Amino acid sequence: MYSEETPSEYYIRKSDLLNTVYTLDDSEIILEVMEGAPANWNTILTTQLYLTVVEFQAAIRFHEDTLMRLDGHIKRDLSNALPRDQNTYSPKAYSVGEYFGMPAPKFPRDDANVSNKEFTPEEKGARPCRHCGSEKHWDDECKYSYKAKKSMRSLLVNPSSEQINAQAAYEDLYFGLRSEDEF
């Protein structure tokens, strides 16, 4: 059950999903809905008493406020609510190969070095060179690449899965390009 979802909304979502995937009778739907519901719902809703899903849904609606209080839900005060068009979070998109907490380049920017590949990182929407921060060439084409590899060996002893996935995406993009020699 989602945190902002009312018990009735949960029931409707869950029963719709169950009916889409399976052909269940009423008692099976009631049991499946209760299986995913918070455990304390069983203290209010006695599933043996409901013969049809209509009766069960009516009971959920009748006890909705109590069920929400049991779950620790706080009724939303509409006067304090944010307008619907205002987001409470701001999404962040990363370039290919970039990840949260990526360190800043350690060497000065070198835009004079332009990639001999078909596209530059800038043109492909990839992150800039991790060594100098230039968007004109790829990591392996940077003149600082060798110097940085010595220090990177010690940093990548325990990389996170996010770092590994970001590097793999960057390398897939890089190795998928043709160099000017191949034209």
In a domain, 17, yes or no: yes
Do 102 and 152 belong to one domain?
yes
Q: Quote the pLDDT of residue 78.
A: 43
User: How big is the CA angle at 91 (ends 86 and 93), to the nearest 5 degrees?
Assistant: 150
pLDDT band at 70 (very low <50, low <70, confident <90, very high): confident
Per residue in 21-35, pLDDT tens?
889 999 999 999 998
List phi, psi (to 5°) of 117: -80, 170
Do 170 and 108 belong to one domain?
yes
- Select from 55, 80, 105 the last residue of a domain: 80
Do 112 and 71 belong to one domain?
no
DSSP state, residue 50:
-
Range of the domain at 127: 92-182
Most trustworthy range by pLDDT among 16-20, 80-84, 97-101, 161-165: 16-20
- Cα–Cα distance measured from residue 169 to residue 139, given in angstroms and rounded to the nearest whole number: 13
Q: Quote the pLDDT of residue 62.
A: 92
**Domain count within the chain:** 2
pLDDT band at 86 (very low <50, low <70, confident <90, very high): low
Query: How much is the average pLDDT of 106-118?
Result: 90
Do 51 and 121 belong to one domain?
no
Q: Quote the pLDDT of residue 181.
A: 61
Q: Which of 170, 159, 73, 93 is nearest to 129 (CA)?
A: 170
Do 100 and 60 belong to one domain?
no
- Select from 54, 80, 106 the last residue of a domain: 80
Per residue in 138-153, pLDDT tens?
888 898 887 555 555 5
Work out the widest C-alpha separation in the chain, in whole angstroms.
77
Do 175 and 97 belong to one domain?
yes
**Partner residues linked to 96 by β-bridges:** 126
Do 100 and 172 belong to one domain?
yes
Do 137 and 57 belong to one domain?
no
In a domain, 55, yes or no: yes
- Cα–Cα distance measured from residue 41 to residue 149, given in angstroms and rounded to the nearest whole number: 57
Do 74 and 102 belong to one domain?
no
Tokens of 49: 């008493």
Q: Quote the pLDDT of residue 79.
A: 45
In a domain, 86, yes or no: no
Asked if 57 and 8 touch (Cβ cutoff 8 Å), the reply is: yes
Higher model confidence: residue 117 or residue 83? Answer: 117
In a domain, 1, yes or no: no
Q: Quote the pLDDT of residue 116.
A: 86
The torsion defined by the Cα of 31, 35, 36 and 42, in degrees rounded to 10, comes to: 90
- Cα–Cα distance measured from residue 149 to residue 154, given in angstroms and rounded to the nearest whole number: 9
In a domain, 157, yes or no: yes
In a domain, 87, yes or no: no
Q: Quote the pLDDT of residue 165.
A: 82
pLDDT surpasses 70 at 55: yes
Do 114 and 175 belong to one domain?
yes
- Select from 80, 103, 122 the last residue of a domain: 80
